Amino acid sequence: YLIFSLSHHVLNILYKICLTSEKDIISKEKGEEKAKGASDTVLYKIDVPANRYDLLCLEGLVRGLQVFKERINLPRYEKIIPAQGEGQRLIITEETVQVRPHAVAAVLRNINFTKERYDSFIDLQEKLHQNICRRRALVAIGTHDLDTISGPFTFTAKAPSEIKFKPLNQSQEYTASQIMDLYRTDSHLRHYLHLIENKPLYPVIYDSNGVVLSMPPIINGDHTKISVNTRNVFVECTGTDITKAKIVLDIIVTMFSEYCEKPFSVEAAEVVYPNGKTHIYPELAYRKEKVKPELINKKIGISETPSSLAKLLTRMCLKSHVTGNGNNIEIEIPPTRADIIHACDIVEDAAIAYGYNNIQMTIPKTYTIANQLPLNKLTELLRLDLAAAGFTEALTFALCSQEDIADKLGMDISATKAVRIANPKTAEFQVARTTLLPGLLKTIAANRKMPLPLKLFEISDIVVKDPNTDVGARNYRHFCAVYYNKSPGFEIIHGLLDRVMQLLEVPPNEENGYTIKATEGSAFFPGRCAEIFAKGQSIGKLGVLHPDVITKFELTMPCSALEINIEPFV
């Protein structure tokens, strides 16, 4: 979100805005004491959607609002191509191909910074880095005081030991390897070191005198740092995604060329590729699209005239006019709207300008026949009857620790066919559960103070690896019940199984119904475990839980449990 102090009323139409103040923010984060003396001015916290790079700075936001309120027209961004030999050049060498192949550049000529504008300029770069640049992995931005350096500039890659310069705000020179160590504990920069650290060559930009502009994506050189007094800015973007690099450059120059002597004009620079080809940047491309008014009206569910629609779009910075015999709208998409990828994006902007809450809500006249999935229908019916039998339903997490489904149940993890998570934040999310039992036992452990007996059940999915599915794993719908009391109550759990089978209309015989046979189970007390057979297969087990299982789940009373797969009964 962005925080601004604004003195005029902001319309709450575009995106979610909530009110706060500096005092509030500090108060929330550090407590009321620290907040004393902080500003009470109302601040607006604005949620900007992830694809609107043009609204990431105050300049862009205000510009968008003023166009929306029809106070100004959207400025026309102009690319000024200097005379032959006078423009800046950025030469890319082939060494960059392995580490950071793309680069684009432009110049903001005769710019006037104030403290606020300067802060905003730095802030926008940081926001773009976090957003479209994907934390500098895709694109990194460098802005330099052009008057401290002289082109042509060279973007190359060298061995870390061969790169030496004074990084931004440091007092001495370091080699690139030393810089890695220097920033290893820096709260901000350490997250980017890995992007180039293990490469044989590090990217680096020099001017014609060997002054280092930057070592992207880590840090700029101190020599070229810009200040409030900087008049000419050389902007370079390097990265691994050329499309995004172009978008980022366009955004920076369109937003801040407002403060150039010739507002909204950007001086182009020439990029020279290893094969000798050249390209002028920034692109600042304007694109034209044609959309039929009926399409817009139909998709939204409104009926506006073509000229009214054209006006709505123009207010959204998409300059439009009616063409043809009034049956078409031509829309010009400016370089600030990289988010417009398809006609439906245009439709969305029209709807936003119209106001979602002004659209009439209707119900589609789609006639369909309804169907519940048989498995879910069965689950619903069973749930009701199990509750009627005096058991309480629980809903537990599908993810758990490895111990929960293996060690605590007396098994080895390799025997479980469990699906394993690669990046769990905590040990609680190492695997997907292969049995519902641990969840219920943990629920009991969390409710030990409740009066006995505790009778819980859950009908929910477990997950196991299965090489026969297209993703390599599948769910099974299990039913599990536990009885926790001073005595294990095996007959109660057994009775519950009988009741469930009765509901499923499965008779208690071996030929065409269900049967139980004594067996051993690592989670069960010896001699008090049985396997349940039905529909020609083993569907689960029931029995008295082993005291080791009980103590490992931090329980103290005897417990009996039942778990079956209910999918054969669908």
The answer to whether 556 contacts another protein (rule: CB under 8 A) is yes
The answer to whether 330 contacts another protein (rule: CB under 8 A) is no
Calculate the alpha carbon distances from 495 to 162, 389, 437, 477, 501 in Å.
Answer: 79, 10, 18, 21, 10
The answer to whether 241 contacts another protein (rule: CB under 8 A) is yes
Contact with another protein (CB under 8 A) among 227, 362, 509, 537: 362
Name the residue nearer to another protein (CB basis): 269 or 386.
386
Closest by Cα among 354, 365, 376 to 300: 354
Name the residue nearer to another protein (CB basis): 182 or 389.
389
The answer to whether 509 contacts another protein (rule: CB under 8 A) is no
Q: Are 297 and 309 in contact (CB under 8 A)?
A: yes
The answer to whether 487 contacts another protein (rule: CB under 8 A) is yes
The answer to whether 449 contacts another protein (rule: CB under 8 A) is no
Gyration radius of the chain over CA positions: 33
Name the residue nearer to another protein (CB basis): 168 or 445.
445
d(CA 151, CA 90): 8
Contact with another protein (CB under 8 A) among 200, 263, 472, 568: 472
- Give the per-residue contact string, 8-47, with another protein (x = CB under 8 A; - = no): ------xxx-xx----------------------------
* Only segment of 76-84, 172-180, 438-446, 552-560 that touches another protein (CB under 8 A): 552-560
Contact with another protein (CB under 8 A) among 275, 388, 509, 511: 388
Name the residue nearer to another protein (CB basis): 172 or 368.
368
Quick count: other Cβ atoms within 10 Å of Cβ 389?
A: 16
The answer to whether 469 contacts another protein (rule: CB under 8 A) is yes
The answer to whether 496 contacts another protein (rule: CB under 8 A) is yes
Least separation, in Å, of the C-beta of 471 and another protein?
4
SS3 54: helix
Least separation, in Å, of the C-beta of 141 and another protein?
17
Calculate the alpha carbon distances from 265 to 217, 391, 402 in Å.
Answer: 27, 73, 61
* Only segment of 61-69, 143-151, 171-179, 345-353 that touches another protein (CB under 8 A): 345-353
The answer to whether 103 contacts another protein (rule: CB under 8 A) is no
Least separation, in Å, of the C-beta of 215 and another protein?
23
Name the residue nearer to another protein (CB basis): 49 or 263.
49
d(CA 240, CA 253): 20
* Only segment of 81-89, 153-161, 178-186, 494-502 that touches another protein (CB under 8 A): 494-502
Contact with another protein (CB under 8 A) among 124, 249, 444, 516: 516
The answer to whether 413 contacts another protein (rule: CB under 8 A) is no
The answer to whether 168 contacts another protein (rule: CB under 8 A) is no
DSSP string for 473-531: EEEEEEEEEEEESSS--HHHHHHHHHHHHHHTT--SSTTTSEEEEE---TTEEEEEEEE
* Only segment of 30-38, 223-231, 439-447, 486-494 that touches another protein (CB under 8 A): 486-494
The H or E element that residue 294 is part of is helix 293-300
The answer to whether 440 contacts another protein (rule: CB under 8 A) is no
HSE, CB side, 13 Å, CA atoms: give it for residue 31.
2
d(CA 294, CA 301): 10
The answer to whether 81 contacts another protein (rule: CB under 8 A) is no
* Only segment of 78-86, 209-217, 318-326, 471-479 that touches another protein (CB under 8 A): 471-479
The answer to whether 525 contacts another protein (rule: CB under 8 A) is yes
Name the residue nearer to another protein (CB basis): 160 or 217.
217
Task: List the structure tokens of 376.
Answer: 């879910």
Contact with another protein (CB under 8 A) among 7, 172, 360, 537: 360
Task: List the structure tokens of 385.
Answer: 């009857």
The answer to whether 499 contacts another protein (rule: CB under 8 A) is yes
Name the residue nearer to another protein (CB basis): 81 or 570.
570
The residues facing 393 across adjacent strands are: 457
Name the residue nearer to another protein (CB basis): 118 or 429.
429
SS3 27: helix
The answer to whether 227 contacts another protein (rule: CB under 8 A) is no
Which residues are CB-neighbours of 547 under 8 A, at least 6 positions away? Answer: 525
The H or E element that residue 463 is part of is strand 454-465
CA angle 348, 349, 350 (to 5 degrees): 90
Least separation, in Å, of the C-beta of 245 and another protein?
11
Name the residue nearer to another protein (CB basis): 165 or 514.
514
The answer to whether 341 contacts another protein (rule: CB under 8 A) is yes
Q: Which of residues 275-304 bind another protein (CB under 8 A)?
A: 298-302
d(CA 306, CA 321): 9
Whose tokens are 């802030």? That residue is 123
The answer to whether 371 contacts another protein (rule: CB under 8 A) is yes
Task: List the structure tokens of 434.
Answer: 């292969």
Name the residue nearer to another protein (CB basis): 197 or 339.
339
Q: Are 462 and 433 in contact (CB under 8 A)?
A: yes
Measured in degrees and rounded to the nearest 5, phi and psi for residue 260 equal -80, 160
Least separation, in Å, of the C-beta of 97 and another protein?
14
Task: List the structure tokens of 500.
Answer: 């469930």
Contact with another protein (CB under 8 A) among 470, 509, 536, 537: 470
Name the residue nearer to another protein (CB basis): 331 or 530.
530
State yes or no: cis peptide before 217, omega within 30 of 0: yes
Contact with another protein (CB under 8 A) among 223, 292, 474, 535: 474
Quick count: other Cβ atoms within 10 Å of Cβ 451?
A: 5
Closest by Cα among 469, 456, 401, 387 to 432: 401
The answer to whether 259 contacts another protein (rule: CB under 8 A) is no
Quick count: other Cβ atoms within 10 Å of Cβ 356?
A: 10
Contact with another protein (CB under 8 A) among 72, 384, 446, 450: 384
Contact with another protein (CB under 8 A) among 124, 237, 444, 493: 493
The H or E element that residue 389 is part of is none
CA angle 259, 138, 245 (to 5 degrees): 40
